[in-house]
Amino acid sequence: MGELRSLAELGGVPTSVLRSAERPLRAERGQKKAKTRADALAEMGITDLLGLLTHYPRRYLDRTTQVPISELREGEEATVLAVVRRVRRQPARRGGKSLVLVDLSDGHGYLSLSFFNQPWRAQQLREGMEVAVSGKVGVFRGRRQMANPVVEVVEGEWQGRVVPIYPQSEKAGISSMEIGDCVAEALRWVGELEDPVPSEALAEHNFAGRDWSMRQVHQPESVGTKNAARRRLGFDELLRLQLVLVMRKRAVERSSVGIAHYVGSDLVERFRDGLPFPLTGAQERAIKQIEADLARAVPMHRLLQGDVGSGKTLVAVWCLLTAVSGGHQGALMAPTEVLAEQHFFSLGKLLSGLSVTDDATLFGQRQVRAELLTNQTTAGERARILSGLAEGSVDMVVGTHALLTESVRFKRLGMVVIDEQHRFGVEQRAALRAKGDGPVPDVLVMTATPIPRTAAMTVYGDLDTTVLDELPPGRTSVETRWARGPLEVEAAWQRVRNEVAKGRQAYVVCPLVEESEKVQAASATEEFARLAAGPLAGLRLGLLHGQLGARDKEEVMSSFRSGREQVLVATTVIEVGVDVPNATVMVIEDPGRFGIAQLHQLRGRVGRGSDRSWCYLLGDAPTPEAAERLNALERTNDGFELAEVDLELRGEGTILGARQAGVNDLKLASLRRHKKYVVLAREVAFGIVDADPTLSRHRALARELREMVDDDDREYLFKN
C-alpha cells in the first residue's frame, strides 16, 4: 500500500484525519519507490497524514471541456494537455542562452515549446510523456508556440476528467501525479472522516459534509463538485481561526474582573468644553461605543481604527481622563520615541488647565499630571516618575517599551492605550495590562494603518472594533503626484522652494535602506548634504534619523515645529505621530521601496492644517506591483481603499504582520476573496462558543482545535 501501510502498525486505520496528525509517513522496508516518495514529501514539509490530505491541488484542468491546440488563438493565455513528440537541445552560442525545443501534439494540432537557459528540461521531458503546459500563445512561421511555459507532468488516463494539479517540487523529485497517487492511497486508508462542525450550521448555510468535500477536492467528479468541496474546506479553515479568537475573547471576559468606570464625569465634560473644535460624528459614535464598555465591570478590549488624522488621539485622551476621574491611572504606549514624544506634546496641550481632586494639596486640587518615560529618560527623572506611578501622584504616563520593564508599577492602573498596535505583539499588550494591581484595566489599541474589515476580524479577532471614518473639519486633502522624469522631479523641488517662500515647511524622506539604522542614518546624512548643496540650496534644513539621541531628536523636532528649520530631511522615524500643521509638502524619494501603508502614513504628515498640501513620489517603480501601489496613492487619499488594494496586491500573508497564530494555515480560504465567509465563520463561532464555552458538547471540534492550533493557544484556550 505504499507509504501509508505503516499506519496499520500504529493502531489500525484511523477514522479521522485529525487523529492522525502526528502519525509519520514511513515506507515499508524494501519498498524503494515508496521510500523515495515519502522522503520527497518530507522535503516538501509533508510528514504526516493530515499534511498530505491538506496539500490541496492549486488548480485543476477540466478535460471534460478541453480546448484543442488547433483552436488556440495568438496572444491568449492558455493551458493545454498534450503528448511530447520530440525534444531537442540546441547548443548555446558563445555568450548566448541555451535552448531546449519541445514539440507537443494532442491529436488535433501541434504546439512548439522553447525553453531559454533551462537545459534540465531536456531530461525532464521525454517522448510519449503527457504534460500540461500553461503560457501565452504565440505564432512563428505559421506554427503555434509558447516560450518558457509552466509545465506539469500529468501522465495517466485523464480523458474526460477534472485533473487536479498539485503544488510540486522539482528539487524533491516528485510530480503532481505522484502526489495525487499518495493522496488517493491516503483517502482509501482513512475511512470515513468525522464532521466536527454542527450539522445545523452546515444545513443552514448549505455546506457539504467534511468527508465528501475532502474526497471531491482531490478527486472531483466535476468542476461543480470541486467548487463545493473547496467552499466547505475553506470555511473550515476560517471557522478554526475564529473559534480560537472568540474562545480567547470569551475566556478573558469570564476570568477577568474589570473596572466599572463612571462615564460623563465633570473632568471629562470640562475637557470637552475646552476643545477649540467640535467632535466629528465618527468621534461621537466611537466615544459612545467605548463608554458603554468602560461602564461595565468587564475589561474592555477594543481596537480603534482610523485613517491618518481622523482624531484617534483625542478619543484616547477621553478614555484616559475617564479613568483618571475615578481615581485610576492611565498609560499610553507607543512604538517609537518620536511618536511617544509627539503624544506627550499633544497631551500637554489637550490637558492644559485641567485639574483633579487631591486632598494632599493646599487647595484640594492639582493639575492632571502626565509624564514621559522612554529608554532615554535620565536616571533621576526615571526614579521620580516611577515613584509617582507607584504612589499614584502620576495620573498618566506616555512611553515606549520602557513601560514594560519590571521596575514600572502602578498604584491603580485603570486604562491602557496602545498606539500602532501592529508594532506590538499580543504578549506585550498583556504585559502592560498586567501592570495594575487589582482589577484588570481596560485596553484600547489604536492603529492608523487601516485594515480591511475581514482582515481586522482575523488580526484583531479577539477585540471589538471601532472605526473613525471621518476627518475633522479644517483638514485638507493631499494632492499626490508620482514624479518619474527629470522635469517632474524638478517641479517637486520647485514646489518645496515655492512653499517655503510663502512661509510654509516641507519634509523630505530619504530612500529606505534595509541594512540597519546606522546605514539609514549615513544615507540620510549624505542626502542632507546633497540637497543642501543642490536642489534646496539656501534653505534652512534639519536632519532627523534613528541614530540621534533623544535630546538631539527633540531639539530637531522643536526647531522644525517652531519654524526655525524650513525643511526636515528624515528617515521613516517621522512615519507616525509627527504633527506640524504648517508643513505642506512631503517629498518621498525612491517610493517603490516602501509599502503602501507606509507611504500613506508618510503622506499623512502634511495636510494637517487648512492650507493646500502636496506629496511627491520621486523615482521609478522597480516592479509592476510597486507601480500599482504608486498609481493607487496618486488616485486616492482613502486609507481603507488603499488597504484593500494592498491586500489584493500582496495577499494576507504579508499585510497581516501582526496576524494571530493559524493564519498561515489558510490554504483554501482567502481573507480578500472570501469576505462573506470570514463574517459567516465569525457568526458561527460566536454561536458555538456562547452556547458551549469549553466545547464540551463539541468534542470533535475541540479535538480539531487542540491538534491544529499552536502550543500557546492550546494551553490558554483549554486551560480556561
Summarised one tens digit per residue, pLDDT across range 408-423 is 999 999 999 998 755 5
Share of the chain above pLDDT 90, in %: 39
CA 664 to chain centre: 11
Query: Residue 356 CA to chain centroid, in angstroms?
Result: 41
Q: Where are the alpha helices (DSSP H) in 149-218?
A: 176-190, 199-204, 210-218
pLDDT of 659 above 60: no
Does residue 6 carry a pLDDT above 60? no
Q: Quick check: 708 pLDDT over 90?
A: no
> Which pLDDT tens digit goes with each residue over 188-209?
888 888 899 999 999 999 999 9
Say what the pLDDT of residue 191 is. Answer: 83
The pLDDT-based confidence of 714 (bands split at 50, 70, 90) is: low
Residue 655 has pLDDT above 90, yes or no: no
Residue 656 has a pLDDT of 45
Q: Look up the pTM and report it.
A: 0.70
Q: Are the CB atoms for 476 and 536 separated by under 8 Å?
A: no
Mean pLDDT along residues 84-108: 84
Residue 498 confidence (pLDDT): 96
Q: What's the distance, Cα to Cα, between the start and end of the chain in Å?
A: 43
The three grid cell numbers given for residue 547, joined into one nine-digit string: 541614530
* Res 497: pLDDT: 96
Q: Which three cell numbers stand for residue 229?
A: 468541496
Neighbours of 199 (CB within 10 A): 10
Could you give the C-alpha distances from 450 to 35, 463, 668, 680, in angstroms and in order?
49, 15, 25, 22
DSSP letters for 199-226: HHHHHHTTPPPHHHHHHHHHS-SSHHHH
CA dist., res. 588 & res. 615, Å (int): 8
Q: How far apart are CA 720 and CA 705, in angstroms?
A: 14
Q: Is the pLDDT of residue 155 over 50?
A: yes
Pick the closest to residue 340 from 269, 398, 265 (CA basis).
398
| Reported confidence tier of residue 461, pLDDT bands at 50, 70, 90 | confident
Which pLDDT value is given to residue 634? 94
User: Which tens digits make up the pLDDT trace of 628-643?
Assistant: 999 999 999 888 888 8
CA nearest neighbour of 574 among 324, 285, 341, 237: 341
Pairing of strands 413-418, 442-447: parallel
Predicted local distance difference test score (pLDDT) of residue 252: 78
pLDDT of residue 161: 77
Q: Is 214 left (phi over 0), alpha (psi -120 to 50) or beta?
A: alpha
SS3 assignment for 10-34 = HCCCCCCCHHHCCCECCCCCCCHHH
CA–CA dist 439, 261 (Å, integer): 12
pLDDT single digits (tens) 230-242:
999 999 999 998 9
What is the 3 state secondary structure string of 688-700?
A: HHHHCCCCCCCHH
| Model pLDDT, residue 608 | 82
Percent of the chain with pLDDT over 70: 85
Lowest mean pLDDT among 215-224, 277-286, 425-434: 425-434
Q: What is the 3-state secondary structure (H, E, C) of 282-319?
A: HHHHHHHHHHHHHCCCCCCEEEEEECCCCCHHHHHHHH
All residues at 6 or more sequence positions from 277 whose CB lies less than 8 Å from its CB, including other chains: 472, 473, 474
Residue 706 dihedral angles phi and psi, to the nearest 5°: -55, -40
Q: Taking 70 as the threshold, does the pLDDT of residue 356 lie above it?
A: yes
Please state whether beta strands 110-116 and 143-147 pair in parallel, antiparallel, or not at all (unpaired): parallel
Distance (Å, rounded) from C-alpha 53 to C-alpha 17? 8
Q: What is the pLDDT of residue 675?
A: 85
pLDDT at 92: 65
pLDDT tens for 21-71 read: 334 444 434 444 445 777 888 888 888 888 889 999 988 877 776 678 998
- pLDDT at site 516: 64
Closest-CA residue to 210 (of 199, 221, 222): 199
d(CA 42, CA 698) in angstroms, rounded, equals 33
Mean pLDDT of 350-371: 82
Mean pLDDT of 12-17: 34
- Other beta carbons less than 10 A from residue 570's beta carbon: 27
Please count the other Cβ atoms lying within 10 Å of the Cβ belonging to residue 136.
14
| Maximum Cα–Cα distance across the chain | 101
Where helices occur in 563-610 by DSSP H, the ranges are 596-603
CA distances from 88 to 114, 123, 258, 468 (A): 10, 10, 75, 63
- The pLDDT-based confidence of 492 (bands split at 50, 70, 90) is very high
Residue 215: what pLDDT? 96
Q: Is 657 exposed, middle or buried (0-12, 13-18, 19+ CB in 10 A)?
A: exposed
Asked whether the beta carbons of 78 and 67 are under 8 A apart, the reply is yes
Domains of the chain: 1-61+164-193 (no CATH), 67-159 (2.40.50.140), 266-296+311-447 (3.40.50.300), 478-636 (3.40.50.300)
Q: How far apart are CA 174 and CA 2, in angstroms?
A: 15
Distances, alpha carbon 380 to alpha carbons 167, 170, 371, 373, in Å: 61, 63, 13, 12
